[in-house]
Structure 1
Amino acid sequence: MSDQSIIRITRELHEIQKGGDLSIAAAFRDCNVRHVYALIIGPPDTPYEFGFFEFYCKFGKDYPTKAPSVNAMTTNMGRTRFNPNIYAAGKVCLSILGTWRGERGEEWSSAQGLESILISIQSLMSGNPYENEPGFEDVKSDEDKKNAQSYVDKIRHETLRTSIIERLEDYLAIPRDAPKLLATSMLPEHTHVNGSSSDDFEMGGDLTFEPFKDKCKLRFLWYYDSYHQTIDKEAVKFKDGVKFERMPFEGQGNTMDGAYQYTSLKRRLTTIKERMDQETERWAEEGKVAITREMSIATNLKRQYEQTIELYKQQDAIPVDIELVDNNPFVWQVTLVGRYNTNLDGGIVKARVNISPRFPTEQPRVRVETPLFHHRISSNGQLCYFSSQSDNLSQHIQAIISAIEDEDPAYDPRTLVNPEASKLLWGNADDKKVYNRRLRRSVADSLDLRDSRQESPA
């Protein structure tokens, strides 16, 4: 592989990683930059909403003259075709990849790159993927409309079950009834993917490499309310055990078969959340052990805490107090005083920052302990925020404050962690007024609750 090709791939990966795009990510093992793993988070308002879809990209020596090979890895062990253009065996049909005959001008060019490929794949994850199948582009007949809705329904179910719930169960070692199989065990021998045999493609890459584990865990916490809302809504429409409808274009091992089991999905989703909360609490105990053993991570976090305190002492305009919980540098308590003439005016917002002993590989998890009706705060207090420097805790604190104080954010459905609040905030003018009233009311209620606790007898 030429040095120029390596430089090009490395630059593209760096741009994706620093870009802060919440819906795509890319990573590679240090030993070989040609083998790239990518994560696409399903777009909001589609049956793929907030699902975790992983892909394996192999760049040849002639890149960027020739497009890389791309294989889907989230396929329910080779049994599920998540889209007419994303096959159960992993093939991704896109004109820019040379795996589909598109219109003139849609073919690959060296001006394109990994990010444009991932965005193109993400665009396949539409609100009506039925129309992606050739011959079914125009859904007009009643039968086509019925099939299109049935296709959406089963994709939504399998997105929750396969891409989210089973992925998190694997991460957390939560056992399932069905035996776990290798993701490639269902791939036919010598399956051709983008002109290469499955042997050449390394059967989908290294299945033990999991660069997106922490990213998926954190986003699971962010989107937990949305997942629950979807399950509750769909469970009303489909009784457990109702089989999926097979589409006219499905067949020959390239299908999405199964049955609706929303009762089970809800139970499993709740179990995952409980395990995640337990894991977060364990970080504090692991941190105490790290302190006792005088490990470098404990020293690093204590130093960052002291530097952060000094930084905010110099910024009198920001009314915030930061302290360690039980003198543990792995647990920070952030207390923010609401600024004058804002929705938080007069309020005191408390947030707990739990830091992993594996920071920054594992990012902090922040729970707002003050009950607020806020578009960035889930029903159980999980805060959705983004830090420009993942290894700098003072930047994390700044991002936390900015997220809580932000009163007029640009529309971004990827931050939809409180569905009810987000719907009001980004609705019409009257809806936004309701949102502001409810936020101010929650601030007042939290103060009343705090005062009543302080006045109650010991």
Structure 2
Amino acid sequence: MADQSVFRITKELSDLQKNSDLSLAVACRDIDVRNVKALIIGPHETPYEFGFFEFAFKFNKEYPRKSPTVNATTTNGGRCRFNPNIYANGRVCLQLTNSRTWRGERGEEWSAAQGLESILLSIQSLMSSNPYENEPGFEDANEASDKKNQKDYVQKIRHETLRISVIQRLEEYLGISLDGSVAPPAANRDDYDLDMDIMDDDSTVPFEPFKDLCKRRFLWYYDSYLVAVQKGKEEVKDGQLFTRMPFEGTSNTMEGKFNYTELERRLRNIKKALDAETDGWAAEGQAAKAKESTVAVNLQRQFEQIVESFKRADIPHNLELVDNNPFVWILTYFGKPMTNLDGGLFRIKLAFSPRFPEEQPRIKFETRMFHHRIASDGTPCYFASPSRREDAKSHIEAVIEALEEEQPAYDPRTLVHPEAFKLYWGSPEDRKMYNRRLRRSVQQSVE
């Protein structure tokens, strides 16, 4: 029975990790498959938009006959209740896992046909545009006071989503203090064995499987965070206290006050720190190259193979190293003929970490392009295959595919350039404006 349970959990984790769902991620230590961490990225057009919400799952030996337990860990140390059903102490009330505190409908209970993904999707569904309705007894609240509470509740969730799930998380990852200064990395680079390319296996090292993912997604959604800040500034004043909801208890609430000006300052500091970290990889890479580390040798070989493959396939794009450093590549992309990109000449920088592929490459268009899949700072939103994380060519191919896709499906998870995204998916006139601005950026790329 235990072996079957482990097999089932392992398969579910593998299936989720292969999935291209951009809003869910799961991970566990190799030796502890029953304890799983999961990340849900807040849905678009909700107060949770693009927040990073982490949950801890514990699977018993009777799984899947019995459901796992689940706890929210993004709670600001047990001080923040992010939803009527997600308590400050971490409790997650779900009908699916029989952990609700109210009477559910028949047929909503757990069954062996359910799984980890079912629970994650159920939690994600709680992160709605009007979470006030999730509280039993308030589903059909129509009184004037309830309407005001609904608006107040959305406002404070949006603020705390930015402050706690995004800003505090990234500041911890980057070692940023409240005054904006950046402390040295927790893992001193001198402890990194450039010959073996591994860190010592220390059980005291915190398990942070989503650190690199959150850093890269922050760069995707940075502009959207600033839009949320601006919207918040228009609705509330700095210093205004949060409104307590009727269903919030003394130790199970979301208390505080608004300060979007401060949140904006901290967001901008995080962006600067991430850019500095990326720039720092070049110097680290040169040191790794000098020691002929495995990663350095591997990236040099991959670079040479890609250059050769471009020549064989008569691909016009050009690839070169910066300062002969295998950790910094420059791709010159030539716009695809007979498309809006035709005639464009774009310089794209690929920065690799000495810890690649654990830390994925950070890519940036140095030539400005107005495109719905490229953030205003040049960061592209692309999907490299999870099974090819160590293949640098797959990243280049994925970026080009995102650029050239002619009929992409609408996906708000790719909202990395709010203005371009809105025009692209707007009215026919909006699309015409989008195409004009894209063509203008293409023309400017060769001037």
TM-score with structure 2 setting the length: 0.92
Residue 197 of structure 2 corresponds to which residue in structure 1?
none
> How far apart, in 1, do the equivalents of 2:89 and 2:106 lie?
28
- Residue 313 of structure 2 corresponds to residue 306 of structure 1: no
- Residue 298 of structure 2 corresponds to residue 296 of structure 1: no
Which one of the candidate residues 306, 324, 329 is aligned to 2:321? Answer: 324
> How far apart, in 2, do the equivalents of 1:208 and 1:289 lie?
26
- Residue 50 of structure 2 corresponds to residue 28 of structure 1: no
Residue 347 of structure 2 corresponds to which residue in structure 1?
350
Which one of the candidate residues 214, 223, 234 is aligned to 1:225? Answer: 223
> How far apart, in 2, do the equivalents of 1:207 and 1:144 lie?
46
> How far apart, in 2, do the equivalents of 1:126 and 1:134 lie?
15
Deviations 1:392-411 (A, max 9, x none): 11111111111122232110
> How far apart, in 1, do the equivalents of 2:393 and 2:311 lie?
12
Residue 190 of structure 1 corresponds to which residue in structure 2?
none
Once the two structures are TM-superposed, the CA of residue 207 in structure 1 deviates from its matched residue by 9.3
Residue 65 of structure 1 corresponds to which residue in structure 2?
65
Once the two structures are TM-superposed, the CA of residue 346 in structure 1 deviates from its matched residue by 0.7
Once the two structures are TM-superposed, the CA of residue 236 in structure 1 deviates from its matched residue by 2.2
Which one of the candidate residues 340, 348, 351 is aligned to 2:337? Answer: 340
Which one of the candidate residues 384, 388, 392 is aligned to 1:387? Answer: 384
Runs of 4 or more above 4 Å deviation: none
Deviations 1:174-229 (A, max 9, x none): 1137xxxxxxxxxxxxxxxxxxxxxxxxxxxx992111000000000010000011
Residue 208 of structure 1 corresponds to which residue in structure 2?
206
Residue 12 of structure 2 corresponds to which residue in structure 1?
12
> How far apart, in 2, do the equivalents of 1:306 and 1:63 lie?
48
**Counterpart residue identity of residue 150, structure 1:** D
Once the two structures are TM-superposed, the CA of residue 48 in structure 1 deviates from its matched residue by 0.2
When the two structures are aligned, how many residues end up with a matched partner? 420
Once the two structures are TM-superposed, the CA of residue 102 in structure 1 deviates from its matched residue by 2.1
Deviations 1:61-107 (A, max 9, x none): 00000000000000011011000000000000001111123211111
Q: Unmatched 5+ residue regions in structure 2?
A: 180-203
**Counterpart residue identity of residue 175, structure 2:** A
- Residue 101 of structure 2 corresponds to residue 102 of structure 1: no
Match of 2:446, SS state, is helix
> How far apart, in 2, do the equivalents of 1:34 and 1:311 lie?
43
* Sequence identity (%): 62
> How far apart, in 1, do the equivalents of 2:60 and 2:376 lie?
47
Residue 405 of structure 2 corresponds to which residue in structure 1?
406
Residue 439 of structure 1 corresponds to which residue in structure 2?
438
Residue 89 of structure 1 corresponds to which residue in structure 2?
89
Residue 55 of structure 1 corresponds to which residue in structure 2?
55
Deviations 1:308-364 (A, max 9, x none): 122222322x43111111111101111111122211111111110001110010001
Residue 259 of structure 1 corresponds to which residue in structure 2?
257
> How far apart, in 2, do the equivalents of 1:259 and 1:231 lie?
14
**Counterpart residue identity of residue 78, structure 2:** G
**Counterpart residue identity of residue 446, structure 1:** S
Residue 189 of structure 2 corresponds to which residue in structure 1?
none
Once the two structures are TM-superposed, the CA of residue 113 in structure 1 deviates from its matched residue by 0.6
Match of 2:53, SS state, is strand
Which one of the candidate residues 111, 126, 129 is aligned to 2:128? Answer: 126
> How far apart, in 2, do the equivalents of 1:86 and 1:162 lie?
15
> How far apart, in 2, do the equivalents of 1:272 and 1:439 lie?
29
Once the two structures are TM-superposed, the CA of residue 307 in structure 1 deviates from its matched residue by 1.6
Moved more, 83-92 or 385-394: 385-394
Closer/same/farther in 2, CA of residues 207 and 79 from structure 1, 3 Å limit: farther
Match of 1:96, SS state, is coil
Moved more, 7-16 or 386-395: 386-395
Residue 375 of structure 1 corresponds to which residue in structure 2?
372
**What is the RMSD of the two structures over their aligned residues, measured on CA atoms?**
1.4
- Residue 247 of structure 2 corresponds to residue 249 of structure 1: yes
> How far apart, in 2, do the equivalents of 1:340 and 1:296 lie?
39
> How far apart, in 2, do the equivalents of 1:169 and 1:323 lie?
34
**Counterpart residue identity of residue 287, structure 1:** G
> How far apart, in 1, do the equivalents of 2:64 and 2:345 lie?
54
**Counterpart residue identity of residue 237, structure 1:** E
> How far apart, in 1, do the equivalents of 2:409 and 2:205 lie?
38
Residue 271 of structure 2 corresponds to which residue in structure 1?
273
Deviations 1:1-36 (A, max 9, x none): 611111100000001111121100000011110000
Which one of the candidate residues 169, 181, 189 is aligned to 1:167? Answer: 169
**Counterpart residue identity of residue 395, structure 2:** H
Q: Unmatched 5+ residue regions in structure 1?
A: 178-205, 449-458
> How far apart, in 1, do the equivalents of 2:88 and 2:316 lie?
54
Match of 2:309, SS state, is helix
**Counterpart residue identity of residue 56, structure 1:** A
Once the two structures are TM-superposed, the CA of residue 275 in structure 1 deviates from its matched residue by 0.4
> How far apart, in 2, do the equivalents of 1:428 and 1:174 lie?
42
TM-score with structure 1 setting the length: 0.90
**Counterpart residue identity of residue 283, structure 2:** E
> How far apart, in 2, do the equivalents of 1:159 and 1:33 lie?
29
Match of 1:87, SS state, is coil
**Counterpart residue identity of residue 258, structure 1:** G
**Counterpart residue identity of residue 75, structure 1:** T
Once the two structures are TM-superposed, the CA of residue 252 in structure 1 deviates from its matched residue by 2.7
Moved more, 41-50 or 307-316: 307-316
Once the two structures are TM-superposed, the CA of residue 300 in structure 1 deviates from its matched residue by 0.6
> How far apart, in 2, do the equivalents of 1:323 and 1:174 lie?
34
> How far apart, in 1, do the equivalents of 2:105 and 2:205 lie?
35
Match of 1:313, SS state, is helix
Residue 141 of structure 2 corresponds to which residue in structure 1?
139
> How far apart, in 2, do the equivalents of 1:431 and 1:407 lie?
17
- Residue 119 of structure 2 corresponds to residue 117 of structure 1: yes
Once the two structures are TM-superposed, the CA of residue 136 in structure 1 deviates from its matched residue by 0.4
> How far apart, in 1, do the equivalents of 2:79 and 2:50 lie?
21
> How far apart, in 2, do the equivalents of 1:418 and 1:136 lie?
36
Residue 397 of structure 1 corresponds to which residue in structure 2?
396
